[in-house]
Amino acid sequence: MPNSEKATAPDPLIQLIVFRLGQEEYGIRIEQVKEVTLTPEIARMPKTPSFVKGIANLRGDIITVVDLEERFQLREAAEVAEEAAAHTYTMAIEAKDYTIGVVVREVPQPLSVPQSAIEQTPDFIQEANIHDKYIEGIARVGDRIIVVLDMLKLLTPSEIMQLTAPAAS
Amino acid sequence: MSNREQEYRELFMAEALEYYDAMSRHISELERNPADEEALRELFRLMHNLKSNARAMGYTSIGEAAHHMETVFGQLRDGQATFTGSMVPVLFGGIDTLGELIRAVGEEQALPDVQRLLDNLDRISRGEEPDLEGEEADDDEDVSRKLELSDLVYIQVRKLDHLMNLMGELIIDRDRILTLSREIDHPALTTAAAHFSRIAEELQYSVMDARLVGVGSLFSKFPRVVRDVASTEGKEVNLTLQGEDIQIDRNILQIITDALLHLVRNAIGHGLETAAEREAAGKPAQGQITLSAQAERDDVLVQVQDDGRGIDVASVRRKAVERGLVTRAAAAQLPDAAVRAFLFEPGFSMAKEVTEISGRGVGLDVVKLAIDSLGGQLRVDSVLGEGTTFTLVLPTSIAVKGALLFELDERSYALPLMHTDSVVSLLPDRFSVVGGVLLTRLQGENVPVVSLRELLQLEGDQVLAPARKATLHGRQDIIIVNYNNRRLGLIVDRFLRQQDIVVKAMSKPLDTIDLFGGVTLLGSGQVCLVLDVPALTRLFLAKRP
Amino acid sequence: MKNRILIVDDSFYMRTMLKNMLTDAGYEVVGEAANGQQALEMAIETKPDLITLDVILPDNTGLDVLRGIRQEQPDVKVVMCSAVGQEVIVNEALESGASAYIVKPFSEEKVLEIVGNALQ
């Protein structure tokens, strides 16, 4: 990068894992992603909201797997129909004191962006379907717009379970 | 007294008391059958050992008494005399005297005089009559004689398992009581609950502690295995064992047995090179395998280490791409440790040739599954050309529960046997409907029956729809569960089997759903939900029509 | 290379004492057997240079074990351990190929001297 030769403080690069939800591109800081794997067999958990796909055995760890497209209703009707056929990938994400799996339909890709490319307080936030409290910023890379999510906020137990149907009795 | 002397003394005492018990047993057998050769041989051997050990310790009077007894039992064994008449009370008395002597040594008291016994034994061995005068006085002492019981008990694992299961239930109840006491917030209750909680926890650790055994009890089987495998593979192998006294739950040791066997066979079959290859590589012809255990906080690390060819990461990387486990681009960026982890993927085996010992098809994935089912970890480190180390990180203790496995909507579920009353398979005519609830009569009692599927599918404030007999088609597989003496029948799709499972706590954030006591990993690696019968029963009571 | 020794004795106390004496003197104790069957198996398994063999064992007599071992491994040295009063068996053992014998109770010097001589 040409400006790296300048004497001023360098613009640090941020490593993101970029994935697609619905028609939009989202990113997570690479430190929060433990691994990406083909989605393992998932056991559906009764009494959980439908976006919680269930639990899976990921190398001996039992993790909860969630579908964020379903959580934020980002999926187009046409895609829902073909969903069953395609196999998916699961990003294992380190939340505060547990690991959680996030299902995506295309292989997530690593991408480095300069810190300065991430706008901390974007004004077009309304365009995103995801509530701004989960959004760390918006990265502009060429003509791509990537919504950088704060997974730690998104994946707290209360966030995940808040939509749970009230438990019996 | 030096440590070693102290150790010898303790060993002597433990063994002497054991001998004394065995002697008492055998002489009673002899009383019933004076020609019992086995008993005679054993008495001779035990006397002989006691004599040798006592002399080595410098306990002369025990040594002398045992020596004289040995002489007489030797004659009896060789048929030179018969266990009968006046020698019987002398020999019984002799064993009693030995017991007194051993106890006196144990309590560091003066040893009683044994001259009279020695004289009588001499007379018997010369074929003369013993002097039995004053024996009655001895009999008086018998009344106050202490019975020595061993400090060790043998116990069946089954009983320990049962204890552990009860413990698991107690811990669940403890948590409920703590929650209740917080809700009710009464000072006396809070204090009592806190005390109860402490005791329950201590009890839990004691029960866990009672199940620990030395890793050596498994390791000791390996010299033989290594010898056999090495000779079949035509390799020279030296096995070293380390950390045999590290303690671990007996059932964990049981579960890792096959995994360890597999790793050791692999190490010899695939890890170590042939003597010729080793020499060509400038290594000693004899390969080294080390089986070791060490404690690390609450875990036990078991390692299988070889000084063989090591894992060729490039080759694993290539194979992982060929198998479609990872894209070529992604594989190139993976660190070596991540590449080696592919070895644990199902069916991923690196062996080029299939050997008799390592077998075909069985790969490290099987080892991985066994370790996973324990909630442990499997790691592999390797330096190409220098060797490979597999590390099993194991919990020291686990709770194993007996469970009934069944199928519902093509998924396996488990129910703890502790709450399972019976399983029945009933035709629709065995049911009646009362107040919207399905009932069946079992052992003179009306038991409510509910479709587990419907119960689990209820959402929010929904209640169960009134039951109709018309919805039942053909035989219904029903598990009768029992909680607080309340029986409930659960209709499932199919019974599978009974099995011991290791229950893992439900991981966050789903741990708030109380219908599931946890999860278990089946041998296939499939995740199986473990239902919580108390919560299920409460749900049914709240939701019945 | 250290000389490798297998100890055969049905008394744990006796085995421990022998093991300590031999290990302290720089020998490698490769195994401990408590009966004849174990002794035969471990002799094959561990291929020791020398075996200390108790005369009286629960399942076989020491003599049977001695003969069994010498049949399998003619080169192994066997030192019999006996107590006073078993001279007959000891003589028979020496005739059957035992290298030497130790009489219990034994002193450390005596054990090391006899074992050392047998291995030369």
Listed by start position, the domains of chain A span: 11-161
Cross-chain residue pair A46–B512, CB shorter than 8 Å: no
The domain that holds C26 is classified in CATH as 3.40.50.2300
Contact by Cβ (8 Å): B104, B68: no
C-alpha distance from C72 to closest chain B C-alpha (Å): 16
Identify whether B340 is part of a domain: no
Instruction: Tell which wins on pLDDT, B4 or A102.
Output: A102
Mean pLDDT taken over chain A: 76
* Contact B/A (≥3 CB pairs under 8 Å): yes
Identify whether B321 is part of a domain: no
Identify whether B186 is part of a domain: yes
State residue B140's pLDDT score.
Answer: 45
Q: What is the interface pTM, i.e. ipTM, of the complex?
A: 0.84
Identify whether C120 is part of a domain: no
Fill in the DSSP letter of residue B423: E
The tally of domains found in chain B comes to: 4
Closest CA to B456 of A62, A45, A43: A45
Confidence of residue C106 (pLDDT cuts 50, 70, 90): confident
Q: First CA to last CA across chain C, in angstroms?
A: 14
Rounded to whole angstroms, how far apart are CA atoms B161 and B399?
8
Asked if residue B199 and residue B161 are part of one domain, the reply reads: yes
Asked if residue B535 and residue B407 are part of one domain, the reply reads: yes
The tally of domains found in chain C comes to: 1
Place of tokens 């495998």: B229
Of C17, C41, C57, the CB nearest to B56: C17
Query: pLDDT tens-digit profile of B494-516?
Result: 988 877 777 777 777 787 777 88
Rounded to whole angstroms, how far apart are CA atoms A128 and A145?
11
* Contact C/A (≥3 CB pairs under 8 Å): no
Angle, to 10 degrees, between the axis of helix C36-46 and the axis of helix C62-72?
Answer: 20
Identify whether C119 is part of a domain: no
Fold of A11-161: OB fold (Dihydrolipoamide Acetyltransferase, E2P) (2.40.50)
Asked if residue B453 and residue B384 are part of one domain, the reply reads: no
Structure tokens at B174: 């403890």
Could you tell me which chain C residue has the CA closest to the CA of B11? C13
Confidence of residue C38 (pLDDT cuts 50, 70, 90): confident
Q: Could you say which of B360, B377, B395 is where a domain stops?
A: B395
Cross-chain residue pair C45–B71, CB shorter than 8 Å: no
Q: Could you say which of B143, B167, B189 is where a domain stops?
A: B143
Interface size A-B, in CB pairs within 8 Å, comes to 90
The domain that holds B277 is classified in CATH as 3.30.565.10
- The residue segments making up the domain with residue C13 are 4-114
Asked if residue B123 and residue B53 are part of one domain, the reply reads: yes
Cross-chain residue pair A60–B504, CB shorter than 8 Å: no
Distances in Å between the Cα of B322 and the Cα atoms of A90, B208, B315, B318, B349 are 21, 46, 11, 6, 13
Rounded to whole angstroms, how far apart are CA atoms B24 and B147?
11
- For residue A70, pLDDT beyond 90: no
State residue A84's pLDDT score.
Answer: 52
Rounded to whole angstroms, how far apart are CA atoms B62 and C105?
13
Identify whether B377 is part of a domain: yes
Asked if residue B495 and residue B356 are part of one domain, the reply reads: no
- The residue segments making up the domain with residue B51 are 3-143
Residues of B within an 8 Å Cβ radius of C:
4, 7-8, 11-12, 15, 42, 44-45, 48-49, 51-53, 55-56, 67, 70-71, 223-224, 227
**What integer is the mean pLDDT of C41-50?**
89
Identify whether C83 is part of a domain: yes
Residues of A within an 8 Å Cβ radius of B:
41, 43-48, 52, 55-57, 59-64, 97-100, 107, 155-157, 160-161, 165-169
Q: What percent of chain C has pLDDT over 70?
A: 98
Rounded to whole angstroms, how far apart are CA atoms B102 and B82?
28
| Residues in chain B, pLDDT under 50 | 136-144, 352-361
- For residue A167, pLDDT beyond 50: no
Identify whether B287 is part of a domain: yes
Asked if residue B225 and residue B279 are part of one domain, the reply reads: yes
On the 0-12 / 13-18 / 19+ scale of CB atoms within 10 A, C45 is middle
**Tally of CB atoms within 10 A around B506:** 23
Contact by Cβ (8 Å): B161, B251: yes
Predicted TM-score (pTM) of this structure: 0.48
Q: Given its phi and psi angles, is residue B282 left (phi above 0), alpha (psi -120 to 50 degrees) or beta? A: left
Distance of CA C43 to the CA centre of its chain: 11
The domain that holds B73 is classified in CATH as 1.20.120.160
Query: pLDDT tens-digit profile of A114-143?
Result: 888 888 755 555 555 556 677 888 888 888
On the 0-12 / 13-18 / 19+ scale of CB atoms within 10 A, A92 is buried
Asked if residue B373 and residue B358 are part of one domain, the reply reads: yes
Q: Could you say which of B395, B421, B448 is where a domain stops?
A: B395
State residue A102's pLDDT score.
Answer: 92
